Amino acid sequence: SNMKKQYIAKTQGSKNFAESAKQVMPGGVTANIKSFDPYPVIMEKGDGAYLYDVDGNAYVDYLLSYGALMLGHGHPEVITAVQNQIKEDGTFLFGTPHQLELEMGKKIQQLYPSMELVRYTNSGTEATLLALRMAYAFTGKHKIAKFEGHYHGGYDQVLLSVNPPIKNAGPANQPTAVSESKGIDPYHEENTIVLPFNDLEATEEILKKNKDEIATVITEPIQGGFIPATQSFMDGLRRITEELGILLIFDEVKTGFRIGLGGAQSFYNIKPDLTTLGKVVGGGFPVGIIGGKKEILELSAPSASSDVFDSSQSHQSKAKDTLFHSGTYNGHPTILAAGLATINVLEQEIEHVFSITNQLKQGICELFDKHGIGMQTVGVGSIFNVVITEKETINHYRDLQQSDFALRRELDFGLLTQGIYTKPLNRYSIATVHGQKEVNHTLEAYEKVLAEII
Ligand code: PLP
């Protein structure tokens, strides 16, 4: 395509790097999602709202490391917090409980009242994994239910029907579990039940049929961070799961802090049984937090009798008194310092982020309108996606699949050549450092590219 050719012309350094990287990492990447055809842009430096690639091109960054960087790159408050933490304590890691675990925990309890107790992990993946274990232990049941199109991390139980080919995925109101990777035990296709998002009637029917086996429903309350559940769907899902004795997990790894400081649960006024957080709350460093009802979290409280000879090496006997949760880096002080600094800034500046997001959404819609192309900016809070479609509403994964990916991809390559960065087909995340200048630049780039491709 024309836009892709222009991209290639501007990114020869990235092209060369990507070739070399293939000698070191499969496909030249260390997370499959970072790869795209013909090769990804290779970034070298970040500064505020901007990323600079190895060819010296500057980009307004809307990927923001898949939403993690809500203050942009190198925010001074985060840098100071991290430097102070290391200087004052003289160490990166204690291997004991410490002050910042308390401080962050209290902050989370305040902003997410459903998270009565918390545990820290090293990633969103680990947080959802622990949430599922807690659900099995609490309910004594052995299956889970997840929604088609929802992502909860890269492990076997949930790596089903995240992005399935529709032709293999069964009827819309009764999706079948489709594995997303080689090497996943077919056991999980049996024991992970897939639900249709925003279809309450079908969801209720499937849950009722399997209520004796389903320990929990796990959901991204806003799919992919941008397709909201309807209020009535969420209200219904909460009511049904309660009635059926099924736990409800809100996976707020993307939506936490981004939909509002209190996440999607505050937006919907819903109290999930368990919640997982990640991304923003690590201030750009790896983190996950799981929290929820006291009586569920207490399952992981060590009992006195579990004090055996180094439980990580020898946990055959007493450890079954409790729900195992451990990790060398859990509650890493430097990361919690960065996360707390991030929350502090957001408490002052989140309204600015929402206002910039709305300006961008509106501006983009107006430009498409001029060309008479049907599209929507789908999203709430500080995340949205540009969905080119004649449909009135985008409610779930299958609606999204029917949008014009080819035109969107062409747009994205055009925008890359104009210094606007998001991975092709990815969503837009907004940060405190995005301002009027970036909005204007972005809308000008849209105007120019749309004129060329339509
Ligand atoms: N859950 C959701 C909703 C996510 O968006 C992600 C990451 O994109 C994860 C879980 C996994 O988090 P991590 O990449 O930190 O393991």
Domains 2-74+350-453 and 94-331 share a fold: no
Nearest atom of ligand 1 to the alpha carbon of 124: 12
For domain 2-74+350-453, the question of CATH label 3.40.50.300 is answered with no
Q: Is 278 in the pocket of ligand 1 (CB under 6 A)?
A: yes
Nearest to 40 by CA among 277, 25, 48, 249: 25
Specify the DSSP class assigned to residue 175.
P
Which residue's alpha carbon is nearest to atom 12 within ligand 1? 124
Enumerate the domain spans of the chain. 2-74+350-453, 94-331
CB under 8 Å to 158, separation ≥6 — which residues?
128, 132, 144, 146, 151, 152, 192, 218
Nearest to 179 by CA among 156, 197, 196: 156
Q: Is 227 helix (H, G, I), strand (E, B) or coil?
A: strand
- Residue 130 is predicted with a pLDDT of 98
Nearest atom of ligand 1 to the alpha carbon of 255: 3
Helices (H), 140-230: 187-191, 200-209
Q: Is 177 helix (H, G, I), strand (E, B) or coil?
A: coil
Q: Is 220 in the pocket of ligand 1 (CB under 6 A)?
A: yes
ipTM: 0.99
Q: Is the dihedral of CA 288, 292, 296, 302 positive or negative?
A: positive
Q: Does this model's pTM top 0.90?
A: yes
Q: Which tens digits make up the pLDDT trace of 109-165?
A: 999 999 999 999 999 999 999 999 999 999 999 999 999 999 999 999 999 999 999
Quick check: is 271 catalytic? Answer: no
- Residue 315 is predicted with a pLDDT of 47
Quick check: is 318 catalytic? Answer: no
Nearest to 9 by CA among 55, 61, 58, 45: 55
DSSP 378-439: E-STTEEEEEE-S-S---SHHHHHTS-HHHHHHHHHHHHHTTEE--TTPPEE--TT--HHHH
Specify the DSSP class assigned to residue 179.
B
Can you list the residues of the chain whose pLDDT is less than 50?
314-317
Helices (H), 48-111: 76-89, 99-111
Q: Cα 28 from chain centroid?
A: 23
**Rounded Cα gap, residues 193 and 146, in angstroms:** 6
Q: Is 124 in the pocket of ligand 1 (CB under 6 A)?
A: yes
Straight-line distance from the first to the last Cα atom of the chain, in angstroms, rounded to the nearest whole number: 13
- Given the residues 61, 199, 251, 273, the one annotated as active site: 251
Inter-residue contact 7 to 453 (CB < 8 Å): no
Nearest atom of ligand 1 to the alpha carbon of 251: 3
For domain 94-331, the question of CATH label 3.90.1150.10 is answered with no
Helices (H), 30-164: 76-89, 99-111, 124-139
Quick check: is 251 catalytic? Answer: yes
DSSP 263-319: HHHHHHT---SEEEEEGGGGTTS--EEEEE-HHHHGGGSPPGGG--TTTTT--SSGG
Which residue's alpha carbon is nearest to atom 5 within ligand 1? 254
Give the Å distance between the CA of 152 and the centre of ligand 1. Answer: 6
- Given the residues 7, 62, 151, 421, the one annotated as active site: 151
- What average pLDDT does the chain have? 95
**Rounded Cα gap, residues 427 and 187, in angstroms:** 33
- Residue 317 is predicted with a pLDDT of 46
Q: Is 66 in the pocket of ligand 1 (CB under 6 A)?
A: yes
